[in-house]
Structure 1
Amino acid sequence: MDSVSRAPEIHPSSIVADGARIGQGVRIGPWCSIGPDVVIEDGVHLIANVIVEGHTRIGAGVVCYPFTTIGMAPQDLKYRGEPTRCNIGARTVIREHVTIHRGTATGSGVTRVGDDCLIMANSHIAHDCTLGNSVIIVNNVVMGGHVTIDDQARIMGAAALHQFVRIGRAALVGGVCGVEADVIPYGSVLGNRARLVGLHWIWLKRNGVQAAEMHRLRRAFRALYPRTMEEESTAFSRRLAAVRAEYGDEPKVAEILAFIEASSHRGLVRVAGGGAASIESDGV
């Protein structure tokens, strides 16, 4: 019998409040607590000691490991108990001691985690954050409110993301890295205070980007973030226009340019040491 066709299994030590909606094939292990406004979709597995509160929806096939809390009130002094939300996408895996808070009325009102994400142990996803699909958050990552992380980005262990920071698609944030500004799509940042060191070449190779496109991406990146101080003395707006004119028909370059030109609270992460060294960092 398909696991999604079965009645939910709820351990007798767990508390499921009246009003909570529990899907088929859900397994709720010992010492869990589910609030009255929670929706848990089919096939979810809460292994043990999981707390889910607030107006929270957990998508089909999600697995939550022990001592995770989802949908708790945000750590925002302006929060006054408004019925804000938290949504977790399908098939996401949430490991031990992760905390994910619901949104705020002064923000977007919802904290979102996409489909097929992996959130490793002891990480914190704050109020009003938005994670895309297939994002990997490694152990002990912390983020302030309103952070946006686009699809397939990789955030390595113990990184700290400032509130309102944007992380572009498939970007790589190195371990123990403090990120105070936005990271371009496919960008790779390292350092105690994050500095852009190149593109996320490993991800690009693993995801089928062909040599010709790779070379064009490399040339576009070098034009935008030159190696020498003399070249870098050219105004960034002029370099941006030149890259658009020469490489703007390249979809990934166009995506980077659109990200740079979008509204931002934090500006962009700067290049390392006045130049942009090409470090082909290994990604997950």
Structure 2
Amino acid sequence: MIHPTAVIHPSASLAADVEVGAYTIVGADVSIGRGTRIAPHVVIDGPTRIGEDNQIFQFASIGAAPQDKKFRGEPTELIIGDRNVIRECCTFNRGTTQDKGKTVMGDDNWIMAYVHIAHDCIIGNNTIFANSATLAGHVEIRDWVILGGFTLVHQFCVIGEHAFSGMGSAISKDVPPYAMVAGAPAEPRSVNLEGLKRRGFSAEAIHRIREAHRILYRQNLSTQDALSKIEAELGGHDDMTLLLDFCRNSQRGLIR
């Protein structure tokens, strides 16, 4: 299962059925769970923890030191969950001690070629990053987010559940759950209607989300007044609680 030209550090821990392709390098303090397949010409540095049933394609760089001038070789880490697909030439960096000390990716994510995930990013589950999407440091991407190709996300931004960015978007503020944004700089365009339908949201819930988006973005209200109106008219549902909590806890401010 391990090609004879692969270089595996003695301290690395690989499950018995892990596949490692030709000329791949697995460094010190790396663990890889069962069923994971590593293509040729991949470099994995540690400390890095990779779960089960992942696929990592050729020329990816996984767990390299963060691109942060303050980094001094501290033992920060990268954690990758289960069933992720990581395509060609992706670069995932470890965390820094100035923040969480780790970069984390959850489960069932589909990461296309040339994606960059910088230090201290937190990626949820069931996301899709199209080709060349790029995250600066300290970014949080929550569950079911889709990033269009060449999307750029500024450091410290948070993108909420079920949000969608169009191709070439440049995001410098927080994106609320369910929103569809596009442009450089990115602007709110609509709700992720097709995504919500595919994930089984009811017609009633979709109507409520669209109405909340209209209040937040189409009535010329301040953010605080819009959120108060959403709570008064549409509150009491889990989907609205998610939206309201996200908006009220935003640190960078919402994309408007």
2:181 to 185, 189, 192: 189
Residue ranges of structure 1 left out of the alignment (5+ in a row)? 1-8, 271-284
Q: C-alpha deviations, 1:29-59, integer Å up to 9, x for none?
A: 1001011200011111001111110210111
Identify the residue that residue 42 of structure 1 maps to in structure 2. 34
Q: C-alpha deviations, 1:159-184, integer Å up to 9, x for none?
A: 11101110101100111110010100
Q: C-alpha deviations, 1:192-248, integer Å up to 9, x for none?
A: 21001111011111111222222222222212222xxxx41x433122112111111
The residue identity in structure 2 corresponding to 1:103 is G
Matched, 1:244 2:244: no
Identify the residue that residue 4 of structure 1 maps to in structure 2. none
> Residue 92 of structure 2 contacts residue 116 of structure 2 at CA under 8 Å; is this kept in 1?
yes
Matched residues in 2 for 1:125 and 1:205: separation?
28
Matched residues in 1 for 2:136 and 2:97: separation?
16
> Residue 178 of structure 2 contacts residue 209 of structure 2 at CA under 8 Å; is this kept in 1?
no
RMSD: 1.0
1:1-284 matches, within 5 Å, as 9-226=1-218, 231-232=219-220, 234-264=221-251, 266-270=252-256
Percent of aligned positions that are identical = 40
Structure 1 length-normalised TM: 0.88
SS of match in other structure, 2:245: helix
Identify the residue that residue 275 of structure 1 maps to in structure 2. none
Q: C-alpha deviations, 1:249-269, integer Å up to 9, x for none?
A: 1211211110001141x2111
> Residue 36 of structure 2 contacts residue 52 of structure 2 at CA under 8 Å; is this kept in 1?
yes
Matched residues in 2 for 1:235 and 1:192: separation?
23
> Residue 205 of structure 2 contacts residue 239 of structure 2 at CA under 8 Å; is this kept in 1?
no
The residue identity in structure 1 corresponding to 2:234 is Y
Q: Could you tell me how far 1:148 is from its partner in structure 2?
A: 0.3
The residue identity in structure 2 corresponding to 1:242 is K
SS of match in other structure, 1:218: helix
Structure 2 length-normalised TM: 0.97
Matched residues in 1 for 2:95 and 2:54: separation?
20
Residue ranges of structure 2 left out of the alignment (5+ in a row)? none
SS of match in other structure, 1:57: strand
The residue identity in structure 1 corresponding to 2:41 is N
SS of match in other structure, 2:104: strand
> Residue 188 of structure 2 contacts residue 255 of structure 2 at CA under 8 Å; is this kept in 1?
yes
Q: C-alpha deviations, 1:117-157, integer Å up to 9, x for none?
A: 01100110000001000111100111100000001100010
Matched residues in 2 for 1:238 and 1:51: separation?
50
Matched residues in 2 for 1:92 and 1:212: separation?
32
Matched residues in 1 for 2:122 and 2:209: separation?
27
SS of match in other structure, 1:105: coil
Identify the residue that residue 278 of structure 1 maps to in structure 2. none
Matched residues in 2 for 1:156 and 1:241: separation?
31
Matched residues in 2 for 1:80 and 1:65: separation?
29
> Residue 174 of structure 2 contacts residue 250 of structure 2 at CA under 8 Å; is this kept in 1?
no
